[in-house]
Each structure stands twice: as C-alpha cells, then as structure tokens.
Amino acid sequence: MANQETTALGERLNRRAVNDFMLKYAIYFVFVILIIAITFKEPTFLSIENFRNILSMSATRIIIAMGVGGILITGGTDLSAGRMVGLAAVISSSMLQALDYPRRMYPQLGELPLIVPIIAAMVVCGAVGLVNGLIVSKLRVPPFIATLGTMVAVYGATSLYFDRPPYGAQPIGGLDKRFTNLGSGWLGLDGRLSLPYIVLIALGIALIVWVLHNKTTFGKNIYAIGGNPEAAKVSGVNVTKNLLIAYTIAGLCYGLAGALEAARTGGATNNYGNGYELDAIAACVVGGVSTSGGIGTVPGMLVGVLIFSVINYGLTFVNMSPYWQQIVKGAIIIAAVALDIRKYLNKR
C-alpha cells in the first residue's frame, strides 16, 4: 500500500512538473512551430539577410518594450507609449531636415549636431512620462485611465506641432543623411556580416535597463511595488518616487525609439507610433512579464519582441493577408495572457 501511494504521489508530481513546464514554455513551442511552418512554405526565410531585417524591425520595439516592461512590473500599464513615439519622431525629424530641402519646417535653422534633436525628443517624452507618474502616484488615477488621457493629449499636441504653416500637415521628409544613416547604416565588414546601428543602440538600452532592474535598489523596489504595493510601502519603499522614476525612464525610452524610428523610415507624420504601445505590451506579456505585476525579465522582453517581429516579418514573407496576420497576433496575445493567469493561479 505504501509503495502504491508513493508511486501515485510521484506520478502526480511528475504530471504537475510537466504541466508547469508546458505553461512556462508553451508560447515558445508555438513560436518554433510558426518558424517551421513559415520555413516549410518558403525555405529562403532562414537567411542572414532576413535575420538582419528582423533585428532592424525589432530595434525600436525593443526600446519601447524596455520602457513599457518596467511599468508593467510595477503593476501599471502605459497606453501613451505609441503616441509619445510619434511625438518624438516629429520633433527630431523636424529639426534634422537637410539644408537644401525646399520644404523645411524650420527654414532658418542651421545644421545641428545629431545628438541635440534626439535629446530634445527624449526630454519632451521624459517630461510626459513624469506627468504620467505624477497622475498615477499622486492623484491615484489608475494607470490605464491616466495614460489613456495622456495618449489622447499627446496625439493632439503632436498634430498641432505637425500641422504648421506654410505647408500644413505634410509628411516631414528630406532628412539629413547623418540621421537616416543612423537608422539604416550598419557596423561591420559588409552588408551581410554586420549589425545595424539601431540594433546596437537597442541592445545597449536593454543592457542599461537590465542593470537598473537587477543591480540597483530601484530595480528591487519596482518588483516589490508590483508584487504588493502596500507591503512595499510598509517596508520603507518610497512608492511615489519609484513610480515617478519608472514612468520617466519609460518616457525617455519612447523618445529615443521615436527618433530612431524616424531615422529608420526617413520621415515622420503625426500618426507615427499608432498602436506601438499595444505591440509592446503584448511582446512583454508573451516574454513572461506578468500582467499582475512583480514578475518579468529583460531577456524575456527581448524574446517577446523577437517573437512578434518574426511573426510580422514571416507572415508577410509568405504573403499572408494582413487581416489574417492580425487574427494570428490577437490569438497569440490572448493565449499569452491566459497562460500568465494560469501560472498565477497555480502559484496560489
């Protein structure tokens, strides 16, 4: 009898271990199956050139995810991320048009150092992030509502800035070659054995965020706030201060991402960044960041972004309808959140 009970207990533990493993890595299995299916339909998909293209597409999304992920870890969310990306793209590109371009937004503006407009865009978005943090931490407005409000306000401000005389709401083009090279150039021996500049920048930002999350008191605090804000407060964590820092860092990330997106695409409009916040949130959740707060890693966020980039690029590569692509992405988002909730319930 004792042996039978021991065997039954062992089988239950094994089943639970298998279930936990499947819950933890199910989304990665789906990812591998998708790659196999895409490669089966179009064998040329697995190439160095496609891999580099996917990394280039992922770069600005990685930077956005680094900002959104930190806020999700605190138990919040940020719906204004995409519109801040658009604001940064418009600000930076408007200040970095070529001197011989006939439709310059600032005809009298001379050639600026490349870093100045990028920093300007980051500072503006960082200030918006700080406002988000104040609304959430001081006014106690739920993050969803607070950032929804700033999302609408930022889009209005971007449109006002964009729709200026004498040319009105025309796409901002004719960008300085130094700027576009930052978005499309690469570091390496040739076009194949190289990494785009924006990918290197994105990886550098990811490394900085990893250090902040894992090697600083601030990182420990945001995980504590996401796990239980009241307990964190009782244990001496300054919740308001850390939320302000988290939202400001997020804003700085969006500002940099917006400038790099303008450099990558060679222009900007007031609609840049529309929906990017949803992609970033979805990528973070797919990468293991809990919607309940307190759980998430930088490597997981990177993997989540790459999963969505491969899906976008791969399904386009095999000529799948954009409408079906949206259905696939939606199904993956729902599955990721469902798995996250299951993992949370299993731990209770």
Q: What is the pLDDT of residues 50-77, one digit of tens each?
A: 888 888 889 999 999 999 999 999 999 9
Q: How much is the mean pLDDT over the chain?
A: 87
pLDDT at 346 over 60: no
What are the φ/ψ torsions at residue 54 (nearest 5 degrees)? Answer: -65, -40
CATH no. for 44-347: 1.10.3470
Q: What is the pLDDT of residues 245-262, one digit of tens each?
A: 999 999 999 999 999 999
Across 3-7, 117-121, 266-270, least confident range: 3-7
| Report for 95-109, 136-150, 154-168: range of highest mean pLDDT | 136-150
Residue with tokens 């006939």: 102
The residue-averaged pLDDT of 297-319 equals 87
pLDDT at 193 over 90: no
Between the CA of residue 37 and those of 33, 210, 286, 314, what are the distances in Å? 6, 33, 20, 10
3-class DSSP state of 214: helix
Q: Identify the band that residue 165 occupies on the pLDDT scale cut at 50, 70 and 90.
A: confident
The residue-averaged pLDDT of 236-244 equals 96
Q: What is the pLDDT of residues 315-334, one digit of tens each?
A: 888 888 888 888 887 887 78
The residue-averaged pLDDT of 111-123 equals 96
Helix ranges (H only) for the chain are 2-41, 48-73, 81-94, 115-137, 143-162, 177-184, 197-215, 217-227, 229-234, 239-265, 276-286, 298-317, 322-347
Q: Domain residue spans in the chain? A: 44-347
Q: What is the pLDDT of residues 15-40, one digit of tens each?
A: 766 666 666 666 677 778 878 888 88
Q: What is the pLDDT of residues 197-232, one digit of tens each?
A: 999 999 999 999 999 999 999 999 999 999 999 999
Beta bridge partners of residue 175, listed in sequence order: 97
User: What tokens does 348 get?
Assistant: 């209770």
Residue with tokens 């021996």: 189
pLDDT above 70 coverage of the chain, percent: 88
